[in-house]
Each structure stands twice: as structure tokens, then as C-alpha cells.
Structure 1
Amino acid sequence: MNHFFIQYRTQCALGAIVGLAAFLMLFRLGFADIQIDDAMYSLRALGYLDFVDSNLQTTPVDWFDEIPWWSRLSFHDAPPLVFLIQYVFFKFLGTSVVVARLPFALAGIGSVLLVYLIGKRLYGVEAGLLASFLLAVSTYHTWGSRVGYLEPIALCFILLTILWFLKGLERPTYFIWFGVSAGLMLLTKYTTIFLLPVIFLYLLWTRRDVLTSRHFITGLVIAVALFSPVLFYNVMMFKTRGHFDLQLATLLHQNVSEDWPRVGSSEPYQLGQLRAVVQDSAAYYSLPFRILLLISLVYVVGRFFWLWKKGQPGQHLLLLLVLLLLIVELSFIGSAPRFLILLPPFYALTLTVLLLDSYHYLAAVNRQKTLTVTLVASLLLAALAGVELFFNINTNHRVRPIGESGSHYAPLRWTSQNLFNQLEAYLIAEAGLADAPFPAIGGKADFKLVLGEAGRNDNIFIYDPNLRWFSSLWYFRRWAIYHQKVFGSADDIARVIGRVNWVDFFKNQVGAKNLYFIWGRSPAVLDPGVSTADTQETARQFAQLFAEQSQESKNITGDDGTVAFTIYKISLNE
């Protein structure tokens, strides 16, 4: 057994690192509620349907009576690949919060493995192992891989493209796979395009012959061919709507007020945005990790210029070009946490360079005490990783974190922990909701809900309009869109049926079985952009009316015993 571990020590170490990453990213993956933009992504991926149920952000479903075939080639605000990947997961594994997040968690684990392979090619095996280990314990990478944004899958394809590029420099036929990977990368998010100028600049500096090589050009042609459906989609979008998709239209300052009234042009660039990207991205790590990370960025830049003067500029060139162009791009886009998810692997590589160079320097200076230097370095690395691991678990896994935000855990934590999940589980058990297969949606007619038809001999669900919009989209509107169940906010229902007695209306005119009202009672489930003292008072009055006539009520409580929801049930025609 000992001989096995010695012979395969690299593989064993890498397996342990990937196993640690898998635990951190998969443990209780479905515990926290869906509560941010991932609701819009998952809702659309579920049926591979570009619809967000909002008059402020309309889509081809709203524009055309029948959804045109070309609108399936992309989405109005992002390329299609991530939605397609999620769609496949839903198709084969069913509908759940875990399945919604699983592709992103697996991409995060894959990124840890890819960083090892990239680090190994750039700096050697020990660098690859250290970089993958640092990324595995990284709080920010764990968080980014669990929240369901598009970026983790985009990042995985960025790293895969870099790996195939490096392999292509060694063996030109691999540039074919570089092209495939680059095309898929562009199909995840437009922001991944920063990597193409990185590669061209790197080749101009170090390998100009590659730019005109047959295999490299073939790879580029493949990348363009794979991305061409999105280009055609935008041509048709411009032809029918007078603008490109949301991202390109915003970039080009096109008038989109008719389709997306709240979308404005990009703000003028300010130099402070560049500094904000570095500061904000470093803020989501433990203090020792953060300090060493900032030092490593300065060190790698200084090391590059020192080697440049000696005529050896190539060692850190690719890493620095990636960081430089990515940070510049992000400074234009913004330093919101979701965008900065692309940075941790490259930060892990810069920190690796600092730590290994420091170790090798000290070992060379103290040749008689190499064992002591190695032992001390190992203990310091273990301490650094231990602090970051505590910070990571405290941020991403503990229901009630220890200490203070910023010092002991990152301010990225979920707000709503297993509250909407509990609510949906109760409704499924109580009202018999079932995530059965649903028919394909081909146009507006497939969305039209007629209360007298959809609600007859079925349940009606009315929810507090103060609840989180994104969560309501996934936990309530999903049932209306894909399963023809009547789920509506109290405001929407009031607009549809007017000033009538709701109980009489749903009992006598609709013929519904039961009427449910879902009242949000905890700030954790309320939408800070909508909920005010006045709107909460209105919801309380609604709840009071239902409480007076209901036969049953149910409280959904948080881990601390605080009531998050109260559900009132009025039996009508059972």
C-alpha cells in the first residue's frame, strides 16, 4: 500500500484535492433557496424557453404569436450553451434545486482539475498541485460554483481553451480542439471573448509563426462556425426588433426602450473601476489569503519585468495577459460579485508563484536546513489553508455563521436559507403538486391561463407580492408557466378579477377546490426592492381576511424558529 502511494503520489494528491473541492461544492447543494438571477436561468433552462414573465424584460415569446425557429438559437440576454446544459440535466435528472445547481458545481470541480493541468504546463507538477489546492479551498470559488450564475461554466470553458492552446503550442494538431473549446466558450457568455486577444498578444510576443499556421487558422474557423448561430440570431433580432440582443444592444448604445424599458446605456468609464475590481475580488477571502493574494499580484508583475530585462519574458506572460485583460474588461462591466467569479483560478496561480518562489529561495539560501525550511513552509501553508477553509465553510455551509461578516465569513452569504424550499415541499405534499412532463410551448396561446378552466376542480395559490421576485419566479410562476397551475400574486389577482369577494368568485364562478394564501413574515423572504412598510401592511390585511375564513393554517419556520411564511387554506368545493 505504501509503495502504491509513493508510486502514484501525484495522482493521490490530485484525487484528494478534487475530492475536497467536490465536498465543498456539493455538500448540501440544494439547502439554500433559489433567490437571485439563477431563478431566471433555471426557469428558462427547464423548458429551453426564453421567457422571464416580466413586462420590463420581454422576449420573443412576448413579441410573436408563434415563437420563430431562429429564436431557439440563442437567448435575449445571453448565448445558449449554459441553458442547454441545464436543460439536459433537468431532462434526465428531474426538476429540483440540486439539479438546477449541479452543472455549475461540477464545472467548479472541473476548474480545479483544469488549473492543475494548466499550472503543471506553465510551472511544473508541484505548482499545478498547489494552485489546484488553493483554488479548492478558495471561498470565492466555492461560492461561485454553488450559486447558479452562468460564470462557473464559462470559466470552465475558459480554462479548457487555455489548456488546449498550451497543448497546441506543443503539438499543432491540438489547435483543432482549441477551436472547438473556444467556440463553446463563446457560447456560454460574451465576456469570455477577452481570452482571444490574450492569445493573439501572447503569440505576437512569443510565437508569431503560429498565427499563420494551418492548424491554428482551422481552429479559429471552427470557433467562428460554432458561434455562428448566435450571430444569425442577432441578425434576425435586428431585422425584426431593430436592435441586437440585450448585451450587444447595451454595449452599442442601441435604443431598446420598447422591449426593455429599464435597460440603459453603459456608464462612462472611470479609472476607479479598475481598482474596484481588484479590491472587491480580494474582499471575499480570509484576511491572510487576501493579503498574500495582493502581494502575489505585485510580485508576479515585478518578477515578469525583472525576467524581461534578462531576456526571459515568457514565463509569466500568459498569466499576466489573462489577468490584465480580464481585469480591464471587468472594470468596464462592473465589480458585482457574479462577474468576478472568473478571477479565482488565476489568483490561485499567482499566489502559487509567490509561495513556490519564496520556498525555493529560502531553501537555496539555507541549504543546510532544507528539511527545516520545508517543514516550516508546510506548516505555514497548512495554517493558510486552514484559515481559508474555516472562512469558506463559515461562508458557504454554516446556517448560522460564527463571528462577524468580513472578518470571519464573506458578505456573500445566502439570505434565505431553506425557507422557500420548505414552503414548496409543503405545497407539493399538501396540494398534490407534481412536476410531471409538460408539453412544448410554441407561442402565446400556450401561456394563456383561463381561470375558469385552469382553476376548476383544482387549487388556487395566491402569494404575498412582497416576496422575493426571483424566488417567486422559480417556486410559484414555474408552476403556472409549465404546468398550468394558478399561481398569482395578490396584486395580479386583484387586477384580473377586480373588487369582488374572492372566496365567492373562486368557489362559484371558477369552481376551485381550495384557495391558498401565502404570507411572507420574515425579512429573509421579502424583496428589499419591493417591500415597504405600506406594502407589508396591505399584505397583513390580506392575511387577516384569509385567516378569518380559513379552516387550516401552516407556519414555515427558519432554523432559528422565526416564522418565515404563514399559509392559509380555505376549502371551497372539496
Structure 2
Amino acid sequence: MRALKTARPIVVILVLAAVLRFAALDSGDVISDEAFYAFRSVGYLDFLFAPDQPTPIELLNARPAWTYLSFHDAPPLAFLVQGAAFKVFGENLWGMRIAFALAGLGSVWLVYLIGRRLAPYKSLRDSTGLADEKTGLAAATVMAILTPAVWVSRIGLLESFVIFFELVAVWAFLWALDERPRNRSDHYNILVYYSGLLWVRWGLVGVAMGLAFLTKYTAFVLVPIFLGWLTWERRSRDFKGLALACALAAALFSPVIIYNVKLFQTVGHFDLQFSYLLGQTTPEWQNLMGKEEIGTWVERLKRIGPRFVDATSPVAAAAFVVAVAASLAFLRRAQRSKSQPDRFLMLAMGLVAFSFLVIGPTLRFLVTAAPWLALLMGVWLGRIPRGLVWKFAFVLAAVELAYSMNTSLLAPARGTARLAFSPLAYDRYPWGYNELEAFLERRLAGVRPAVTIKTRYGFIDDLGVAGIARARAKGAKPLALLIIYDDSLSDKAMLWSLHRRLVYRGWPIMAASSYEQTLAARGQDFFSQQGLKRFLFIQGENDILRSPGSPEPNRKLAADLSARGVQPHAITAAGGTPRLTVWEF
């Protein structure tokens, strides 16, 4: 009965977290780096249409077996999971984001479990045999509504997965340390301690670490956190357990190691992340996608504070600063046994903060601090008796909830940035690309390409042919169509909506500038001579373009079509604002 009563609050918290993570999950345009991951996950293909950062299969114009082991800029696990989601839910925004939302919901549960194990002022189990619910529930509540935690769960970025697997590893690590029997009646830990089942716990730590490493390399921060804690607590007897965990993690990570060895043998350097970290020369990769913005150590140190506020909220950032100051003061005067949660969290957060300085305080990287913030707040709320402070905390929670919903659920967010919503909201701004995607789905439903345009890569052509064959088997009718797009539209949106259809479905796609250049060089009848009978031209309005004013080829093509009497079709974004124009001729 007691267990049922204590289960009710966490169920309510998880329901709230689920609503915040799954409600209108398919809102928000695909204009962030999630396009890079989703495009490649559809076919587990390391290819980006980026001439200044060609992938190994582009350099080789082939897909040798070792290139399936990883990707040139990230480990493979997230691509595999997202690819499986696409197969279940289809190539849509639910398929793109649902696995990340599930990971975000799981992270709330894990923060609850870790919070219970960090219960202050007492052993990890109280006299009833139940862990401290108050700390766990408080931490889970913060994690459920915290702006970066909600935002990262609703977008297809690696950070949601890496947070989840890191939390599994942290929980398993604390569980592995809680092995010694406390008294003769502690039958469970007596069994674990003397039967060898403790090694199973350390094995779970290793598996979780390995999966985190296979998601994103930033998860390597777990190693110094765990090693540092064992050293600080003088738990030398547990070094063997950690060594086992690291060995298992390395075994799981071995595909990436093999990939990098083969890549080094082929081009003389490791993948994008390791080569940058080691200072290797990468003549093939002129664009390192954000690495040029990292800056010097001093510049990173100056930016980390403002970026942290941007990645959270003014309320959460202020609460975090107060909690850190309180923990540091508490460490100076509290007994060692009572300050254990503070010491563990200060160690972990210090190493995580240092990792941000190493990789650069990019906004999306800083959201991975969310669980540590939630745990620290949970520890302190667990210490405070219910009263005025808790009432004030409820008010702050309501403010944070509104801020979080405005950032992640409303599109577009209302009010002033940094006061009413986080700049994170700009990564899902409704420019109208989702409406373009819906238009293309309707227009291309039940048809397949009758004509294809060969690319320079044989494996891309093969994928297109396979896609056409699948459509033919479903009864799709042939359509000789060429899709032309405005050069100034978002590269990421075009990668998802257009180039995905080129690679995996075989549709001919071309930028307006290339279209006009081809006509000028080969004649006005060139495309019709290739068998193309219908054309779609997608043009953007000024406020949707990457730079004011459409390039000359786009304006010229639109003017020619207007002069011929072609009637355009307007695509409006949320709120009815015209953002795109589609010409069919």
C-alpha cells in the first residue's frame, strides 16, 4: 500500500513529461542539424551533398564494408535507432522525432531513480526499505519541465540519446557502489555481495557507457567522473569493477575504432571529431560545421555563461547558481557522510563544464547539463522542509513550465527572446517548410519518376533505382517531373524535403541556378529532350531566404513563368503568412 501511494506522484510527473514531449511533436520546421541526421538515417547512408566536407563514400565513390561501421562525423547508434523509427512510422516528423522523445521521457524516470540514490542526510535506503522519494520526485519534476530537457526531447538531435544513456550509466554506477550489506537483515545485498552478482551491475555500467559512446563522443566525460569519484571516496576495491565496465564499453565501441583505423589507412586521418581533437590535417574537409566558431579558450570561457542562460531560462539559471553556491557552502561545514550528494554532483558538473570548454559552448551542447541541474535542485529541495520555500518553488516551477511550453510547443514562440522563451526556439521556427513537405507528399502521392538524372555517384543512382522499383511494386504511375528549387532556401530544409526524394526515391532535383545554366549551355529544349514533361519550381519569399533578395536565376525563372501566364500556388506558414510559391508548368 505504501509503495502504491508513493508511486502516484511519479506517475503524474511522467504523464506531464509525456505531454510536454509528445504534444504536437510534428510541429516546427526541419531547419536545424536534425536534418543532417534524419536524411542519413533513412537509408543508413553517410552522404550530405556537402562538397566542402565529402564523406568517405563520396571520396571513394563506393561503399566498402568498413564504411557501414560508423559515420564521418558521429558514431552510428542514433542513425540506426532513427532509421528503425522511420521504418515503423514512415518518413515523417513523427518518425524523425519519436525515438528522441521516448529517450527524453526515459531520462525523467532515470533522474527520479538517481535522485533517490542521492537522497541526502541518510543511507540510500531508509528504515522502511524505500529510498528517499522526496529527492527523486523533486529532481524528476525539474527534469520534466526544464526548458532544455523538453526542447532536446522534441528535436532529432543526438543529445537526447546521449543524455539518456549517460543517465543509465550514472544510475548503474551508483547502484554498483551500493553493494555492501548494512546489517544482517539486508538479505538482498548479502546475496549480491557474496554471490558475484555485483559484477552484473558493473557490466550494466559498461553496456550503458558503450551505448553512450556509440551515440556521441562527448559521453567520454563519464570515465573521469566515475574514476574521479572512486578516487575521491578512496574506493580502490571498486577499480576492478570500473575496469570491467570500461572494457565492455570499449568492446561495444570497437566498430568505431575499426572505422577510424580504416579511414586513417585510406585518407591519412581519423573522423571529423577525432581529427579535430588531435589537430590532424584534413585537406578534404574545408568546412568543419561549427568548429570555426569555437574560438580561443578565453572566448569560450566568456561565452559559456551567457550561452548557458540562453540554453536554460533566467529562472532555471538563477536557481542553478543559488544551488551551486549553497552546495559549495555546505561542503565546507557539513560532515563528509552528509555531503556525499553535493560532492558527487560538484565533481560531475565541474567535469561536464570543462568538457564544454573543450568542445565549445554551442547552445545545443549545453542542454546536456539539464539532468545535472535537475539533480542538484532535487537534492536541495529534498533537504528543505515543506513550507514557504516550497510554495516559492511551486511558483518558480509554474514560471519555468510556461517558459518551456512557449519555447518548445508554441510555433512561433510568443514574446521577447530570453525573457519569454529561449533562443532554442529558433531551431524550430515555422517558416513554412512543413507545409511544403505536406504539399510535396500530396503532389507526389501515387506517382513515381519516369525519368531520372544520373549523379556522379553510382551508389546514389542505385538507391534511386531501388526506390523507383519499390514505388512501381506498389502500383505508382510514372510521372516525368523535374523539381527545381530556389538557391536561397534553407539547405537543411531542402536536404530533408528534396534531396531525400532524389536519393531514396529517384526524383530529379535541381537548383534554379543549375537549371538556368543548363538551359543556357545546352538549349531551351534540353530537358524536354531528356523526356521531362512537367516541372515544379519552388520559390521562397524574402523573409524565408538565407539572405535578402532572391538570386538572379530564381527571379528570372519566376518572371518567365509569370509572363507565360503560369499561375503560382502559394504555400502559407502557421498564421497564414505566405512563405513559398510553387510554380508548376
Give TM-score, length-normalised by structure 1.
Answer: 0.87
Residues 261 and 113 (structure 1 numbering): CA distance in 2 closer, same or farther, change over 3 Å? closer
Q: Which residue of 1 aligns with 2:195?
A: none
Q: Which residue of 1 aligns with 2:69?
A: 73
Aligned letter for 2:172? W
**Alignment match of 2:325 (pick from 298, 302, 306):** 298
Q: CA RMSD in A?
A: 2.7
Per the TM alignment, residue 298 of structure 1 is displaced from its structure 2 partner at its CA by 1.6
Residues 74 and 497 (structure 1 numbering): CA distance in 2 closer, same or farther, change over 3 Å? farther
Q: Which residue of 2 aligns with 1:129?
A: 137
**Alignment match of 2:538 (pick from 495, 499, 518):** 518
Instruction: Percent identity, please.
Output: 31
**Alignment match of 1:482 (pick from 504, 507, 510):** 504
1:402 aligns to 2:414 (yes or no): yes
Per the TM alignment, residue 466 of structure 1 is displaced from its structure 2 partner at its CA by 0.4
Per the TM alignment, residue 540 of structure 1 is displaced from its structure 2 partner at its CA by 2.4
Q: Which residue of 2 aligns with 1:251?
A: 277
Mapping for residues 388-537 of structure 1, pairs under 5 Å: 388-414=400-426, 416-417=429-430, 419-432=432-445, 444-448=457-461, 457-496=479-518, 498-499=520-521, 502=524, 504-507=525-528, 509-523=529-543, 525-527=544-546, 531-533=547-549, 535-536=550-551
Aligned letter for 2:334? L
Mapping for residues 57-68 of structure 1, pairs under 5 Å: 57-68=53-64
8 Å Cα contact 2:485-2:537 kept in structure 1: yes
Q: Which residue of 2 aligns with 1:327?
A: 353
**Alignment match of 2:576 (pick from 540, 561, 572):** 561
8 Å Cα contact 1:458-1:513 kept in structure 2: yes
Residues 501 and 30 (structure 1 numbering): CA distance in 2 closer, same or farther, change over 3 Å? farther
Q: Any unmatched runs of 5+ in structure 2?
A: 120-131, 180-197, 450-455, 469-476
8 Å Cα contact 2:82-2:99 kept in structure 1: yes
8 Å Cα contact 1:300-1:353 kept in structure 2: no
Aligned letter for 1:244? F
TM-superposition CA deviations, 1:403-430 (whole Å, max 9, x none) = 3221111122135316112112112222
Q: Measure the CA separation in 2 of the matches of 1:265 and 1:536.
A: 27
TM-superposition CA deviations, 1:64-85 (whole Å, max 9, x none) = 2321101110100011111111
TM-superposition CA deviations, 1:513-552 (whole Å, max 9, x none) = 31111000142x322xxx343x445422321112233544
8 Å Cα contact 1:520-1:564 kept in structure 2: yes
Aligned letter for 1:376? L
Q: Measure the CA separation in 2 of the matches of 1:385 and 1:17.
A: 13
Aligned letter for 2:228? L
SS of the residue corresponding to residue 556 of structure 1 reads: strand
Residues 10 and 279 (structure 1 numbering): CA distance in 2 closer, same or farther, change over 3 Å? farther
8 Å Cα contact 1:43-1:474 kept in structure 2: yes
Per the TM alignment, residue 58 of structure 1 is displaced from its structure 2 partner at its CA by 0.6
**Alignment match of 1:546 (pick from 557, 561, 580):** 561
Q: Measure the CA separation in 2 of the matches of 1:177 and 1:187.
A: 15
Per the TM alignment, residue 252 of structure 1 is displaced from its structure 2 partner at its CA by 1.1
TM-superposition CA deviations, 1:190-222 (whole Å, max 9, x none) = 111011011001001114333443x44332221
8 Å Cα contact 2:430-2:573 kept in structure 1: yes
Q: Measure the CA separation in 2 of the matches of 1:434 and 1:25.
A: 35
SS of the residue corresponding to residue 555 of structure 1 reads: strand
SS of the residue corresponding to residue 564 of structure 1 reads: strand
Q: Measure the CA separation in 1 of the matches of 2:399 and 2:58.
A: 50
Residues 409 and 233 (structure 1 numbering): CA distance in 2 closer, same or farther, change over 3 Å? same
Aligned letter for 1:293? F
Q: Which residue of 1 aligns with 2:35?
A: 39
Per the TM alignment, residue 93 of structure 1 is displaced from its structure 2 partner at its CA by 2.1
Q: Which residue of 2 aligns with 1:380?
A: 392
1:142 aligns to 2:157 (yes or no): no
Q: Measure the CA separation in 2 of the matches of 1:77 and 1:86.
A: 16
Q: Measure the CA separation in 1 of the matches of 2:389 and 2:279.
A: 53
TM-superposition CA deviations, 1:312-362 (whole Å, max 9, x none) = 6533222111100010110121221111121011011122233333x23xx
Mapping for residues 279-298 of structure 1, pairs under 5 Å: 279-298=306-325
8 Å Cα contact 1:278-1:327 kept in structure 2: no
Q: Any unmatched runs of 5+ in structure 1?
A: 361-373, 437-442
8 Å Cα contact 1:65-1:444 kept in structure 2: yes
Residues 330 and 434 (structure 1 numbering): CA distance in 2 closer, same or farther, change over 3 Å? farther
SS of the residue corresponding to residue 334 of structure 2 reads: helix
Q: Measure the CA separation in 2 of the matches of 1:212 and 1:278.
A: 35
**Alignment match of 2:97 (pick from 95, 98, 101):** 101
Q: Measure the CA separation in 2 of the matches of 1:135 and 1:232.
A: 37
Q: Which residue of 1 aligns with 2:218?
A: 191
Residues 381 and 427 (structure 1 numbering): CA distance in 2 closer, same or farther, change over 3 Å? same
Q: Which residue of 1 aligns with 2:80?
A: 84
Q: Measure the CA separation in 2 of the matches of 1:564 and 1:266.
A: 30
Aligned letter for 2:557? F
Q: Measure the CA separation in 2 of the matches of 1:544 and 1:55.
A: 30
TM-superposition CA deviations, 1:358-403 (whole Å, max 9, x none) = x23xxxxxxxxxxxxx353443222111111111111112234333
**Alignment match of 1:341 (pick from 367, 380, 397):** 367
Aligned letter for 2:509? F
8 Å Cα contact 1:135-1:345 kept in structure 2: yes
Aligned letter for 2:147? T
Q: Measure the CA separation in 2 of the matches of 1:417 and 1:350.
A: 35
8 Å Cα contact 2:311-2:366 kept in structure 1: no
Residues 212 and 331 (structure 1 numbering): CA distance in 2 closer, same or farther, change over 3 Å? closer
SS of the residue corresponding to residue 341 of structure 2 reads: coil
SS of the residue corresponding to residue 517 of structure 1 reads: strand
Per the TM alignment, residue 446 of structure 1 is displaced from its structure 2 partner at its CA by 3.0
Q: Which residue of 1 aligns with 2:177?
A: 169
Q: Measure the CA separation in 2 of the matches of 1:234 and 1:286.
A: 39
Per the TM alignment, residue 280 of structure 1 is displaced from its structure 2 partner at its CA by 1.9
Aligned letter for 2:249? A
**Alignment match of 1:273 (pick from 289, 295, 300):** 300
Q: Measure the CA separation in 1 of the matches of 2:109 and 2:218.
A: 22
8 Å Cα contact 1:61-1:444 kept in structure 2: no
Residues 65 and 537 (structure 1 numbering): CA distance in 2 closer, same or farther, change over 3 Å? closer
Residues 323 and 189 (structure 1 numbering): CA distance in 2 closer, same or farther, change over 3 Å? same
Q: Measure the CA separation in 1 of the matches of 2:484 and 2:264.
A: 39
**Alignment match of 1:110 (pick from 95, 103, 106):** 106
Q: Measure the CA separation in 1 of the matches of 2:552 and 2:322.
A: 52
**Alignment match of 2:6 (pick from 3, 10, 17):** 10
